[in-house]
Structure 1
């Protein structure tokens, strides 16, 4: 997909390392990280990075043999060739590549032994010849169930990078980049409003812009105010819960219920481990799910300084990268809040 490049990939705290690794791979095939394994939720840019690597390689080495394929297509391709008795043709296609880009490798989980065996052999053949493999998944290698252990081990041979949802500032940058070429004037406070409504992935932001431009075109509106944006999202999604402003006390209550900590303790200054975790998670979610300023969030937590909020947000963000259990806990709390 030629539209995906490194130049139009919006970088933020949640994807900076994955982008750097992808760039390194595109500059030095199979010599830097092999395989490169990128994981994260849907709509966070994994497919974009995968294609950007392929496009960069083809720009610099036009005759490079590059193949981008969703894992599901690899499986179907394999089964078709097997049925037709054309396995040599299949092997030739995949094992003579310089770069294999496989999207959503979790689709291989739970598939028949023969399918996993063929992917294992393809992987080994390419790796032995020092050919580059890049894989994406919705979860880390160690959480890929239903896959042979030897495959999971190989997925971890190179470098594993986690992409997390874009933080508030990155969401605004994404919205600016998506709207600057449109014939509509998106006011800054409108972009901030939208960035506060959609926090989980880039596709939601793109969908919101499409909703708004449709309404603006029909109504012949040029200036996109918050009111226009709110109406457009409501009209198309008919999902008022999406565009409700989430109060910080609701976040505090849900986090408190989850961790067994009272809101009073969260607003206090006790440093017991479970209270500190709950306090930091609640601050993190207040920053991610609302467009309140840092001082306002600090005030809602018993008058804490805005630097405390920045520290809490950064701390939880880095913990999520390392701890899948915490990531799942926070996803679960988010669902309750919304």
Structure 2
């Protein structure tokens, strides 16, 4: 049993104390959370200060800060409290770009030094047998598993929009069935979920060539199930899916409304989980928003890690197109790519379409295509994207005008039928037309994220059952598309701006008329 010690009082003793304290807490956290989980999420955190009764940790990025605060905050704080007297709270700050660059330089220098040392003593080490297979064999097994060759980790371009999913994908491929069960990706179409699924499959086969990997869409799973029923071959169907080492299922939202299929998948999921086999799922929305998905499946989909993929930022979009240009051997200049990414900010497919259009026009024209001519070439692609370049404020304004209420009321507590419906429709449209997360939308409205989940579900149901609600939503969307609104920058993560998170959000009752 540790006796908590007081905070050090002078700067000189604090520096050494911080290092010793973090070393001890690191050991505690590895024992509590597991080494793989610690290495994935907390190894790049740094203990930077003891501010009165508060511990200050520095995160490598905002996504890490948000996720760790939501999932590990109380656990981390409890371990600090074992060693420090009067430790009452913990704060997660985000490293600046300069601090991150400095850390990367140190990491690169350390890696180089370790490599040189390793090479010096290699002749002293015994040979270790590893599982090896030829590239042709891995390729053949991957294609048999349903994997696409062009979707590998090597050609995935990670960015701040996908750092959570990228880190989780690598962890799952390295240690399937141990880190997260299941891993659940969600995002609008065309942002890289499918690429990550295939990448996990290829990397898993590279590391374990004999493993049984299966990639299917939920629709393919359904077709196989129906075919098995018709041919009286359910045993064969179940053997195929329930003996997989790695099951990758795309478009899992297809399971919604299909009771018999959900029951079959439920038992498949349980079997694989019991055997500690890895399941990775991808959907165009969070599990809680899949229409008529059984609660027991929603619960299981949330067992492990849910990773949302956002729309890529400017620098990531440019990096993606430069990679595509080089892979496809296109004669498109960096200036042209810069012009494309400034105007196309939606999904990767839209970016690829714009790149192909520019390359085609550049090839067909007798005169050289100039960068300033690119906007005209891709004008129709930009126009199609207008609905995806809308900010929260613009959507709230359009909804308020349609329902004839003040914008400020949407952020308040008034709960008349008209105001409640307007508020829910605004949350629904922000969720479906932008890349803001549930937490960010909730913070903007001053609500709990559970309120946003409830609103999205309710408006989806109303659109199915009520022509009036469906028409209202479509009218507002068309108005927004015609308005030519600008992109609203996502809010920088700050601790004080975060909404309350609870297992039973009180906002659900407030909004549920």
Is this contact kept in 2: 1:185–1:223, CA < 8 A?
A: no
Deviation at 1:222, TM superposition (A): 5.5
Corresponding residue of 2:233: 86
Corresponding residue of 2:251: 104
Corresponding residue of 2:440: 319
Corresponding residue of 1:117: 263
Matched, 1:232 2:353: no
Q: Deviations over 1:34-82 (max 9, x none)?
A: 1000000000000000000000001111111000000000001100011
Following superposition of structure 1 onto structure 2, how do residues 183-202 of structure 1 map, counting pairs within 5 Å?
Answer: 183-188=330-335, 190-202=336-348
Corresponding residue of 1:20: 167
Q: Paired residue for 2:283, among 130, 137, 144?
A: 137
Q: How many Å separate the matches in 2 of 1:88 and 1:224? A: 62
For residues 240 and 149 of structure 1, do their structure 2 counterparts lie closer, same or farther at Cα, with a shift above 3 Å needed? closer
For residues 318 and 16 of structure 1, do their structure 2 counterparts lie closer, same or farther at Cα, with a shift above 3 Å needed? farther
For residues 104 and 334 of structure 1, do their structure 2 counterparts lie closer, same or farther at Cα, with a shift above 3 Å needed? farther
Is this contact kept in 2: 1:184–1:224, CA < 8 A?
A: no
Corresponding residue of 1:299: none
My pick for the range that moved more, 161-170 or 19-28, is: 161-170
Is this contact kept in 1: 2:215–2:247, CA < 8 A?
A: yes
Is this contact kept in 1: 2:337–2:355, CA < 8 A?
A: no
Match of 2:351, SS state, is: helix
Q: How many Å separate the matches in 2 of 1:29 and 1:127? A: 11
Gaps of 5+ in 2: 1-147, 402-406, 413-429, 444-448, 460-475, 485-513
Is this contact kept in 1: 2:332–2:359, CA < 8 A?
A: no
For residues 122 and 240 of structure 1, do their structure 2 counterparts lie closer, same or farther at Cα, with a shift above 3 Å needed? closer
Deviation at 1:177, TM superposition (A): 1.7
Is this contact kept in 2: 1:254–1:337, CA < 8 A?
A: no
What RMSD, in angstroms, separates the aligned Cα atoms of the two structures?
3.7
Q: How many Å separate the matches in 2 of 1:19 and 1:243? A: 26
Deviation at 1:144, TM superposition (A): 1.4
Corresponding residue of 2:302: 156
For residues 224 and 58 of structure 1, do their structure 2 counterparts lie closer, same or farther at Cα, with a shift above 3 Å needed? farther
Q: Which protein has the larger Cα radius of gyration, Structure 1 or Structure 2?
A: 2
Q: How many Å separate the matches in 2 of 1:233 and 1:18? A: 30
Q: Deviations over 1:280-336 (max 9, x none)?
A: xxxxx9xxx9xxxxxxxxxxxxxxxxxxxxxxx9x989615995949979x969646
Q: TM-score, normalised by structure 1?
A: 0.73
Q: How many Å separate the matches in 2 of 1:251 and 1:57? A: 40
Match of 1:161, SS state, is: strand
Q: How many Å separate the matches in 2 of 1:161 and 1:185? A: 33
Is this contact kept in 2: 1:197–1:243, CA < 8 A?
A: no
Deviation at 1:185, TM superposition (A): 3.7
Is this contact kept in 1: 2:343–2:375, CA < 8 A?
A: no
Matched, 1:42 2:189: yes
Matched, 1:57 2:204: yes
Q: TM-score, normalised by structure 2?
A: 0.49
Deviation at 1:187, TM superposition (A): 3.6
Q: How many Å separate the matches in 2 of 1:316 and 1:97? A: 33
Q: Deviations over 1:132-153 (max 9, x none)?
A: 0000001111111211111111
Deviation at 1:233, TM superposition (A): 2.4
My pick for the range that moved more, 81-90 or 139-148, is: 139-148
Q: How many Å separate the matches in 2 of 1:240 and 1:319? A: 26
Q: Deviations over 1:190-234 (max 9, x none)?
A: 22221122112100000111111222222256655230x234324
Corresponding residue of 2:352: 206
Is this contact kept in 2: 1:254–1:336, CA < 8 A?
A: no
For residues 133 and 316 of structure 1, do their structure 2 counterparts lie closer, same or farther at Cα, with a shift above 3 Å needed? closer
Where relative contact order (Cα < 8 A, 6+ residues apart) is larger, the structure is 1
For residues 103 and 212 of structure 1, do their structure 2 counterparts lie closer, same or farther at Cα, with a shift above 3 Å needed? same
Aligned length: 285
Match of 1:100, SS state, is: strand
Match of 1:194, SS state, is: helix
Following superposition of structure 1 onto structure 2, how do residues 173-188 of structure 1 map, counting pairs within 5 Å?
Answer: 173-181=319-327, 182-188=329-335
